[in-house]
Each structure stands twice: as C-alpha cells, then as structure tokens.
Structure 1
C-alpha cells in the first residue's frame, strides 16, 4: 500500500539524555547508563562524550572503565525510561493521532494524510528534529511506506553490510585473493570486520519515496529486517549480508531453512503483510494530590490530608465503575525525598472507610524528615466493580444484606492482616479432583479467590488432618503392618490398624514423588494414643518400604 506513510523515531541515547536533562553538568563528562544482565553489569546508553572514547552499548562496565578512566555511570531506571517514553508519545501526538511505542527507545507514527499540515514530509521532519534539539534528545528518523521499512531506515540508513569472517571460513570470491588484500588489512587476521557508519555531518533522517521501499532497503544489512543476531550470523555465512541479497532468494527455500519468520519480516518491510500502527487507548489513571501551605510531620495531620483526598479518589473510581485493589500513598518531603507506602485490598473497593484504616496502619513507616509539603494517593491497580442491589421481598433483602456484610468483614480482615504480613501470605484451600492424597486440595491466594461455597467433598476413607512428605519408618520390609516400628526417633507399638487402602500413581503424569509405584495405606493407632497414616510402597521402580505421611487429629 503506497498511500500509507509511516515515521519511525529512534532515540539511541534516550537513557543518557534523560539523565542529562535532569543534571546539565553531565553534558561535559563521559556518562553511561548501566544495568544488570545475568551476573554482569553492561552499558545500555551513552552520551556523546562517552562514545568519543570508543565505548558502545552492551559493553561490560569493567572494560568501559579500562578504556575511559573518568567514566561516570548511573543505574538504569526501566520505569523512569518507560514514563519518559510515554511523555514523548504524547508529544508525538501533535503530528498524528496514531502514535505507538516501539521497544523501549522508539516511537512509530502513522503520518498518512498528516504531512501536508506541516508543509510536507521534509518540513515535518525538520519540526521533529528541532523539537528534539530543544528537548536535548538525539533522534534518528526513517519515513517509508511500511513500518518495517521506516524502522530499518531510522536505525540502519547509511550503513553498509560488512564482510563476514569466522576463523576457518573460506572466502568464495577467488578474485579477492590479491585485488582486495590491501582493503582487508587487520580483520583477515582475526579482528572485527569493518562497519561503515554515518558521519556526524550526515543527515539524521532518511525518506524513502512512495513505492521505493525496495531500492531504499536493498543496500542495508539484513539486520535492518528486525532479525535475531543468531539468524543474521547464519545468513552472513551463506553470503546473504544485504537486504537485496535476501529479497532475491526463493521464498520457499528461505522459509524451509530459516523459518517463516524471515519471510514474514520481508513481507512486512515490503508491504505484502499488514503491520498497522494501532495505539492502545491509554488506561484510566486514578490519582489525587494535596499541596500543603506549610510542611507537616504529625500522623494526625497526614490522616487529615488522607481524609480530604480519599473521597475525591473514590468519586473518580465510581465515575468509571472501578474499584481500587492496590493503593499507594506518597509523601513528598521538603528536601525533595519521597516516602511511599502501598496497601492491598482483598476485594476491589471505592469506599474511603475501607481504604483509610489500611493506610493508617502504614503511617509509622513514613519518615517525615524536615516536613511533608505534598501528599499524593494513587490507585495503582483497579478492577471493575458493579453496584449490588437486593431484590425480592423484605426478608430476602435482609438475608442478602447480612451475607454482603459478612463478606465485607472477612475482606476487611484479610486487608488488615495483609497490610502487616503481605497479601500473598494469606491463603485458602479449595478442593481438587485427584485421588492422590497431597493433590486433593489446591492453595489459592485469599485476596484473589472466593471461599468454597459448597460442602467439602467427603472422602471414601478417612484422611489425616496433617499431611507432609513421606518420612521413612524403620520396620521390616514386608507388606504386613509392623507390630513395633521406629519413626522420628520414637519406638512405637501398634495397637490396631485399619486398611489397607491401595492408591496407584497417575500413570499419565511423571510425578517424582510417586515413582515408587503402588502404595497401601493404613490408619495405624499406637499404644501411646497417636493415629498415624502409614503406607507400604511396593517399589516397582524404586526400593520398597514403610513410610509415614500424615497424622490424624
């Protein structure tokens, strides 16, 4: 479709530019943004001064410090960069209503029918460049008929495909033996292949004329098709280093050898496969704040501010038909520090009386410092909630109201306990369909599940109240229940035994705990009053013997 025009914006130094916007003094020093990858710290973003020392993204920090003695490093904030990219997305909305994010450092804009409002495509890109210069951001742009072609031009325009050298690989071009020997220089002896990059005096954008995506991409390396690095290396071994080389190959052979992903990327770049720009509607944001004329530091003053903020927050939640599931309170101190606490609710709610006690439990963890001059409450996680109304005669309505009140009391209790120990620590059991003893119930988080409303399924034979992993019992290795056995350092004498109950493993599952095969369970009472659940494993695949797995109340 040649009537579509897609603009791709790439911010190659977004992490470093974001930090330099907050601290202008970092412009004059080599700056690198660092993050943890596995067990190693690597560079993710560099400013111009750091790039002048030959540093690159993905390089280990220890190597970077060896190359640049005065390198300044800052830890990467993924949330901060995502929020900054969201701000840039709103800024790009001035050029087109269709704006979406690309990875963590780019935007894609559908400019179809919008460029003439700015005087044409060249004039529009000049406006983008000027805005980014004013914002202190480095940007590279690509404009083409398809999203894939625009992405390639923004990141690879001006680059050429370097030759591939890998140890014992033989160059298939016989003429290169002498005529190109002077051009190879050091990289024939194991060094890196040369890569042609754009100079600083060249343009930071590239426009592909309508219908000219093929010619604009042919000279670019195959990595411009958004292929994985391993796949790029495989193609380079076969001499397919440029996009033009790949587009000229039979599609069936490429799909058979490298998968359909390669063909899909080619079709997306050429416009044969659709790849629309569909920005999702921004989610509703529920937050309120209160700016104070004088700093405060007492808990009573903070509670008074919460009482003023919560009704406004709950009213906005009610307008959207949602309830808060997690609420965050932020206290902005006068020394520019932020103290925050977060609470969770067992059920979504928009009732201030249910949220306020949970926040009050967390106030002792807030350090007011020299004073708090602003409070902010945000509903971090929300869920749909619907109004309930009792219908029917008067007595039925009273019954429904009592049940709703009882459920609310339990939910409030879960919320108060969760504010202290964590919501994930509170669990409940639901029955499960299995004849394996330890699988007859499943553990669910109490805050994200409803109580079991039916009767608990009755077992055909008694089941112990306490279950644990099978523990060995020292007894003769015979199927008959032992008269005397030793368990947990105790020598016990059998008074009577009920059984056996034979339980077979689930043959359709490979459960390591049940590889011993069939088990015969016995309810065993000892002379000292204990009721234990013993079983004898017949040991079809492992050694046989007696084990204890539970105890009755």
Structure 2
C-alpha cells in the first residue's frame, strides 16, 4: 500500500480581500475528490486532507515521484491556494507527514515510531494524559500494554496504531463520481440582486468543470437555482426558489464561456427576495470528443468562437433579437427562408410570428440557382415606368430572362390563397448595377391591361 495526502491552504495575502476571493473561487471538497479520481479510483477525505491510495496505479504515471509532480502541477485550485502533499505506507502515516510538512518540522528518522503523537488524530483528545505517562511519539504509545491502553483510552487509539504498523487493514468510504452534477452551496451573505449570486456561482462552476472533465462530458444545458429567504414580501406569497437556465449550441467544458453566459442571464433576472442558498445542476450533457487542433496558423485564431458569441448575445439581448435564416421549400423567393432564434438549435422552443417568417431583408435567399441574387428586399418594390421600360435609378436594360414562376395556385396559408405568376429578369441599372426584377402576369393584369414591374433583389 502507498498513500498520498493532499491539502490546500490559503497563504497570507498582501490585500485582505485576496484570500477571501480565492476561498470563494475554490472548488467544493467533493469536487476536489472528483479531480483526484483522474489518477486513482481509491480516493477519500480523512480529516483535513484528501487521501489517494496509488499502489495499484502509480506505475501508470511513471512512478511515485512523477505522479506527485503531476498532482502538484495540475492543481485545480487558484494560485492563491497552495497545494501541499506527503506520502506514506498507510493513510495515517501520510497524513502525519503532511502535518509535519505544514508545520515545517523535520521528518523523524524512524517511521512511524518516531512521529509526534499530536499528528495522530485518534490520540489528540488524550494528549495530556499520555504526556503524563511520558508518551510523546507513536512508538512510545504502541509499546504500552494493549489491554490497558484499550481500557484506558478506548479501542479507537489502539486500532489506529495497528493500522499504522500494518497489523489491521484500512477501511474507507471511497468517493464516487455521480451520473448527474448537482451541488448546493450556502451563500456567505444574503444576496439581494441576481448579479451578486455570480460571486458564489463561480465556485459551483469550478466544480462543474471538474465533473465534466472527469466524466468526459460537455455541458449543453445548466440550471442555477437560488433559495429565497422570505416566504412573503409586501403581502405577496413567494415561491421557495427561483432559477435561470443556460443552454449552449455545442457541448462545452469552457469555464469562461459558461461563466459569461450565466452572468448575462443573471443580469436580466430579478430576485423576488434575498437569497440564502445556491444550487447548480446539469440538465443536459453530451459525450466530449475533446478539442481538435490544427497545424495551420489560420485555424488557430484567438478569441471567441462564432457560436459562443451568438449564444452570449442571445442571452444578453433576448432570443428574438438574434436571428438566423432557415431555408424553406417554396418557389416564391420571398418565402424561401424564414428567421428563427439562433438558440433554437440548442433546444429552446420559439415561435416566430408569421410576419417575421416572411422577412427576408437581411440575409441571402438560399437557392440552388446561381443566378439568384445575394440580397432580397423585405417586400418587392413596385417600379416606375418610362413608357414600357421599368426604372430603378434610371431605365433598366433586361439582360437575362424571362424565368417563369407559377406557384401558390393551390391557395396555401402562407400565400393567403393568392397565386403568384411572374416572369423574372436580370436587369442592369445605370446607378445600382445588376438587379433582379419581375413582371406580374396575373389574370387581373391581363384584364386591365396594366403592366406592373417589381424589384425583388440586388446583386453585390
């Protein structure tokens, strides 16, 4: 058996608030245990230290020294928290040597017999009585008669000494990784505004990132819930909790991106009453394929990814303010695309009004024909006539056409029951360049003899 004991401690800071900020950003003890599960399946908490039993897997990490260096280098806690470690043949020995290291005391020549008695947790409540007997080390206590020691100081002390000398097997409650992330945290002070919750939410997000990496999953949907400290406010009954949900278009383990999304969401929320507890849980996760890299410099650009920027703007401005075009099967150009919220791809249900579905002013129509223009007007613009020639910033000269479109004769809902019969042309304007126009060929136009031309799109 071989054990490693780890302990995180906050060093004295030049500024009083630096240590407090580091403590709030430190992951929860449970999350630190999840981080240690990357190295060995045998992890537990023993008093103030995180214990790792590594005898079965240390060779996979290149030996004990290599494993210890890797643990120290991959410290998941901010730099303000110092990670200290010690090793031993048993968990009690490793914990005792860690306590000596923290106190900056030298290791005794004999282990475990020479270890100071105050480094053994089972002996701490009996230190005064044992000192009067002249016992100040583990070996001196172990030399006392077994029966008398157990009757005078209890069986726990004798059992601890047997474990330290390898006479009794150790028994621990090993940590396991849950299938779903869910952690609750008590706020250091009542939060009266939603952005104040972000201070403590950072600690839960750090724990979430550790869980995602250990599970090899990427977050798709999260929910942050806070417990209200009041049941009634201004004569109104309040719900016990409030919550906000955050969704992403792609699975992610990026803590900075999740923090920005949650900050934007909380900035729009209003607390019904001061909050006392905070809980974060994962609603949806996907398998994590890992980040792909490229040797080409143009593929390794710095900055946010496009979908991350779109998600952040959608949360900040509202889902209906950040739209993307979607292709639709229809022969009428103004109906070939609809606008949908950009976050609809990540599962958020949205229903755009019919007027928005027909708005195709700010994105190109997705057509298989290369002659279609890159830019369509929101509504076809009726053109003035110069005799029999349509005009748009000057008389137009038809170059290509006609391309006849006859659709809507079945009276669909989107067309309002009105058929569309048109002849499309590519024309040239003296000032606007190439334009896309059409002439109506409806029965009413033929009956009245009126010829109507419309501008449908522009070419870049």
Identify the TM-score tier after normalising by the shorter chain: 0.3 to 0.5
Q: TM-score, normalized by length of structure 2?
A: 0.43
Q: TM-score, normalized by length of structure 1?
A: 0.37
In our comparison, the structure showing a higher alpha carbon Rg is 2
